[in-house]
Amino acid sequence: MVFHRYGAAIAFMVSGLIWVPAAHAQQHQHATPPTAAAADAPAASQQSKPSESDKSESSMSSHAPVVFTLRTGIAEGRMVYIGVGGDIDRQVNPKLVVHEGETVQINLINGEGAQHDAVIDQYAARSAIVSGKNASSTFSFIASKVGQFDYYCSLPGHRQAGMQGVLQVVPGNRAEMPSTAADITRDPADLPGPIGARQAKTVRIDLETVELKGQLDDKTTYTYWTFNGKVPGPFLRVRVGDTVELHLKNAKDSLMIHSVDFHGATGPGGAAAYTQTDPGAETVVTFKALVPGIFVYHCATPSVPNHITNGMYGLLLVEPEGGLPQVDREFYVMQGEIYTVKPFGTSGEQEMDYEKLISEKPEYFLFNGSVGALTRTHPLYANVGETVRIFFGVGGPNFTSSFHVIGEIFDHVYALGSVTSPPLTGVQTVSVPPGGATIVDFKLDRGGRYVLVDHALSRLDHGLVGFLNVDGPKNDAIMHEGPPKQ
């Protein structure tokens, strides 16, 4: 079966062909609903072992597909596959190591113009034949069998001439691998509850800029620059008319000066002019929240894109008088990019590549700071019948997001982050520019797993995917497998 990149990354996720061990799917506790309305909702049910008919919806992988790219070529007088990117970069006939249950995507690129393919017999998986130089084919499968299996070119004589490598499927869930650095991921359920109807007052906000080594991917670490040790920074909530007293402290072990620019503040640099803070120092600035809306904040110390890409961004909600319409659950999600010297998926400690940054060539696209942040580390949880609100922003620093939840339609979208304009209704996908934000609301009518993506879908292969797990009835009247039921 041959899938192009779009099919490999999306069709497997939404068609239910991605599986994980049930034990992993059941180990998470549901987030406590953050609003008063949710307190009256039925308690989240315990996840029971799915039936065969449910597995396709409830047992999908907690990770984006594991992607390998192979280029055909000649080495030491033999026809071979040459690894491209990650831990297999430039390796001849590299060993491809995956975990049991993972979805594997193999991209085959023709490097020299002869006809080639790639085949793995035990999975009945194969690419198309690529004939012209730079022609490519992509295929995917689920690593359901543990062991070592050959991949090879099936054209006559090519395997014997050297085009053969090994796929190793190791037992156990990748999520059980020990971390080697701090978890910098912000839990999307980590945000303060609504303010509602109260009088304007002075609100003190304390932020600390912290530089630390964090877990970027399973075997990959990166030195993040953060607000309060997480990416994104804390969700800040005030109401229109409030006076904000901001204290910005820069940790004494920081190497860099840091600051903060609030897009929701009126004044020089959005407060950045007053918050250029040396390591070990603290600055204070006061501003008035004049306009309601959802606003990005970020570090504004040169080089500004360098500080942002390293994780220094967050959201400030300025509620209108009386607050926003009530919902059952609220979540906080931000998208960003990381520009590393080595390719996506390379193990070990990674460094930032400034040339890639200014050329806008990221290796990673991420929700909440790391690969797997919203799949295996902190997926979103809710129940059928609840209304969900996602505060979504783009730290960037460079790329616009086409935010989309596969299998859902946004009932309300607060376009461009405006909460004073009437929301749009019945929206499939919303564009959010870097330094921009939006609010989306929708009601959950059917149980299952819903996938958060940027609909620039090639970014899935660079780490950008999240899960919303919805407990409750499947409601066959809305969707079911097979023809209409009599």
Residue 173, pLDDT score = 75
Say which range, 6-15, 62-71, 372-381, has the weakest mean pLDDT: 6-15
Residue 178, pLDDT score = 67
Query: Which residues belong to the annotated binding site for Cu cation?
Result: 258, 263, 298-299, 307, 312, 455
Residue showing tokens 């990149």: 5
pLDDT band at 176 (very low <50, low <70, confident <90, very high): low
Query: Which residues belong to the annotated binding site for Cu(2+)?
Result: 116, 153, 158, 163, 258, 261, 263, 298-299, 307, 312, 455
Distance CA(439)–CA(432), nearest Å, equals 10
Phi then psi for residue 310, to 5 deg, are -80, 0
What's the helix, strand, coil split of the chain in %, to 5?
Answer: 15, 40, 45
Q: What is each CA distance from 323 to 44, 54, 102, in whole angstroms? A: 26, 39, 43
Say which range, 48-57, 142-151, 338-347, 457-466, has the weakest mean pLDDT: 48-57
Reference 217, options 348, 353, 335; nearest CA is 348
pLDDT band at 218 (very low <50, low <70, confident <90, very high): confident
Which range has highest mean pLDDT (142-146, 177-181, 233-237, 469-473)? 233-237
pLDDT band at 101 (very low <50, low <70, confident <90, very high): confident
Query: Which residues belong to the annotated binding site?
Result: 116, 153, 158, 163, 258, 261, 263, 298-299, 307, 312, 455
Residue 424, pLDDT score = 97
The arithmetic mean of pLDDT across residues 102-131, rounded, is 94
SS3 of residue 458 by DSSP: helix
Residue 196, pLDDT score = 87
Residue 140, pLDDT score = 92
Share of residues in the chain with pLDDT > 70 (%): 86
SS3 of residue 224 by DSSP: strand
Q: Which residues of the chain form CATH 2.60.40.420? A: 66-172, 179-486
Contacts of 359 (CB under 8 A, 6+ apart): none
Strands 125-126 and 78-84: unpaired
Q: What tokens were used for 295? A: 């606003």
Q: What tokens were used for 284? A: 């204070």
Give domain 179-486's CATH number out of 1.10.510.10, 3.40.50.2000, 2.60.40.420, 2.40.50.140.
Answer: 2.60.40.420
Q: What is each CA distance from 211 to 218, 271, 396, 451, in whole angstroms? A: 20, 21, 19, 31
Indicate the pTM of the whole model: 0.79
pLDDT, one tens digit per residue, over 180-203 is 899 999 999 999 999 989 999 999
Distance CA(257)–CA(37), nearest Å, equals 43
Q: In this structure, are residues 244 and 284 in contact, taking their beta carbons and an 8 Å threshold?
A: no
pLDDT, one tens digit per residue, over 160-169 is 999 999 999 9
CATH fold for the domain made of 66-172: Immunoglobulin-like (2.60.40)
- Cα dihedral: 219, 187, 23, 180 (round 10): 20
Q: In this structure, are residues 418 and 408 in contact, taking their beta carbons and an 8 Å threshold?
A: no
pLDDT, one tens digit per residue, over 248-283 is 999 999 999 999 999 999 999 999 999 999 999 999
Residue 253, pLDDT score = 97
pLDDT band at 177 (very low <50, low <70, confident <90, very high): low
Residue showing tokens 């899935």: 460
The arithmetic mean of pLDDT across residues 337-358, rounded, is 95
Residue 172, pLDDT score = 78
Task: Residue 124: count other Cβ atoms within 10 Å of its Cβ.
Answer: 9
